[in-house]
Amino acid sequence: MRILFLGDIVGRQARGLVIAVTATLKKNLACDFVITNCENSAGGFGVTPDICNALFDAGSDVLTSGNHIWDKSEISSYITHQPRLLRPVNMKEGFPGTGLVIVSDKQGRRLAVLNVITNLFMADHLNVFAALDDCLGKIKLGQDADAIFVDVHGEATSEKMAIGHYLDGRVSCVVGTHTHVPTADHHILENGTAYQTDAGMCGDYNSVIGMNKEVATDRFRKQSSSRLSVATGEPTLCGVVVEIDDKTGLAISINPFRKGGRLQEAT
């Protein structure tokens, strides 16, 4: 099984590029599934039902998210009826939607996708390790799913690494999102789980994490409260391609994916 994961989409131009090329990427990379983090795809803050539908129609099998999932109010009713749009499973009770879904390909192979949010430097959420234990007590690799992919949405690299090691051998892949900066630590952990601390964003890298660099810099320099706006230069698509052994559910390889824009390409 081969999976393409695309990191946080930031803004209209990145969203349009993802929609335009997903089907081609899926074919050219011989991927069985595409997972896309969509939480910043509507003007840099949140996502709408129409955007979700367009991403699904383009070839994404599952959409993950994070702390910005509720920025557009209309998503609350949509997520209730669309199980393939995930919000972090460890958000406190009362939020609609789910953080775990199982999808199947034409060969009947089952991919479980789990979305969690970390605790350090983020808003108040339920303990991420307890939430992971709860989910993996219900869905076990090789029994209930042929592969398990975990999107860890969080700020602290140390916490993401700890989660990777904690899940090593229990899931197929752990990839981080949220910082919008791709890390160079893609590797397979000692018990067979593929790992990368952050996949990076799909967005303009002539920016500050996808936002207009002048406005963002002024917010740091002058403690300005000016509203951030999405950078509008050519976007780079960033993510990972993971290959998983159908017999064991563990990783064979993980490779960075970068295409277009300012960053050096990797395919």
CATH of the domain at 82: 3.60.21.10
Q: Is residue 228 part of a domain?
A: yes
Q: Which residues contact 68 (CB under 8 A, 6 or more apart)?
A: 39, 40, 45, 46
Query: What pLDDT is attached to residue 225?
Result: 81
Q: Is residue 147 part of a domain?
A: yes
Q: What Å distances lie between residue 164 and 45, 73, 190, 192, 233, CA to CA? A: 27, 32, 11, 11, 33
Q: Is residue 267 part of a domain?
A: no
CB 100 within 8 A of CB 115: yes
Give the range of the structural domain holding residue 144, as residue numbers without chain letter: 2-259
Query: What pLDDT is attached to residue 122?
Result: 95
Q: Mind telling me the catalytic residues? A: 68
Identify the burial level of 54 via C-beta atoms within 10 angstroms of its C-beta, where 0-12 means exposed, 13-18 middle and 19 or more buried: middle
Backbone angles phi, psi at 61, to 5 degrees: -90, -35
Angle, alpha carbons 31-173-98 (nearest 5°): 90
pTM: 0.97
Q: Is residue 108 part of a domain?
A: yes
Q: Is residue 266 part of a domain?
A: no
Query: What pLDDT is attached to residue 23?
Result: 98
Q: What is the Cα–Cα distance from 79 to 53, expressed in whole angstroms? A: 11
Name the domain count of the chain. 1
Q: What is the Cα–Cα distance from 227 to 148, expressed in whole angstroms? A: 38
CB 251 within 8 A of CB 172: yes
Identify the burial level of 157 via C-beta atoms within 10 angstroms of its C-beta, where 0-12 means exposed, 13-18 middle and 19 or more buried: middle
Q: Is residue 265 part of a domain?
A: no
Q: pLDDT means per 10 residues in the chain (267 residues)?
A: 98 98 98 98 97 98 98 97 98 95 97 98 96 97 98 98 98 98 98 98 98 94 88 97 98 98 94
Query: What pLDDT is attached to residue 223?
Result: 86
